A and B are shown apart, each in its own frame.
Chain A
Amino acid sequence: GENVEQHPSTLSVQEGDSAVIKCTYSDSASNYFPWYKQELGKGPQLIIDIRSNVGEKKDQRIAVTLNKTAKHFSLHITETQPEDSAVYFCAAIVNDYKLSFGAGTTVTVRA
């Protein structure tokens, strides 16, 4: 099955700086890569996703890049704000249904 590795496990950044989270996947057939943000006591919230036919996607301060050859994808958050503090999960999907998640990155934005 698909195996997704995520780094780092924790990330502390100064407000206004950028944050980068990296993930690798094992199954070259994976074709959909979502990112989720989970705030304390809440369910994961889809924040951005990318499909295997696209190399980069941006939505305001958030961007995701995908390198199919190297089988890795990354989340970039620019101009971080305190409300960006949360646990972020990357995931990959091979068929239409089964998401495999990374272990999560706890992001702390220092004011």
Chain B
Amino acid sequence: DTAVSQTPKYLVTQMGNDKSIKCEQNLGHDTMYWYKQDSKKFLKIMFSYNNKELIINETVPNRFSPKSPDKAHLNLHINSLELGDSAVYFCASSASYSGRSEQYFGPGTRLTVT
């Protein structure tokens, strides 16, 4: 009965590789997000999709490309991984159609680039 799930939980890879992180929510929400948490625990939004449409695209390198195949899924693909991409990536979702702003987070994916 997991609400927001992410795979994988851990991802260790070498510089230059391409990797993807997947997110799924079973809350019936219409908006999904990707956040990055750095080593100092700072949380910053990267992207947001509402009904599969990109609505927030922060200053993120073009190597990061989100894709939302449907309202319940939001994936994050990262090309040419760099050391500075090492962080914990969180997916979140919310129900904008209800006028509610609460965002619910997944368990995170710890990405380590060596």
Chain A residues engaging chain B, CB cutoff 8 angstroms: 32, 34, 36, 38, 41-46, 49, 87, 89, 93, 96-101, 103-104
Contacts and interface: CB of A to CB of B under 8 A. Distances in A.
Contacts of B42: 101, 103-104
What bracket does the count of chain B residues touching chain A fall in? 20 to 34
Interface of B: 4, 31, 33, 40-45, 48, 50, 55-56, 90, 94, 96, 99, 101-108
9 contacts: A38-B41, A43-B90, A44-B43, A49-B102, A87-B41, A89-B43, A96-B96, A98-B45, A103-B41
Contact of A42 (B31, B43, B107): B107
A43 B103 contact: no
A50 B47 CA distance: 24
Nearest to A33: B101
A60 B58 CA distance: 37
State the main secondary structure of chain B at its contact with A: strand
A43 B45 contact: no
A97 B31 contact: yes
B15 to A, nearest CB: 25
A55 B25 CA distance: 32
Contacts of B4: 43
Nearest to B9: A41
- Max chain A CB contacts within 10 Å: which of B42, B43, B90? B43
Nearest to B88: A43
Contact of B105 (A45, A96, A98, A100): A45
B39 to A, nearest CB: 12
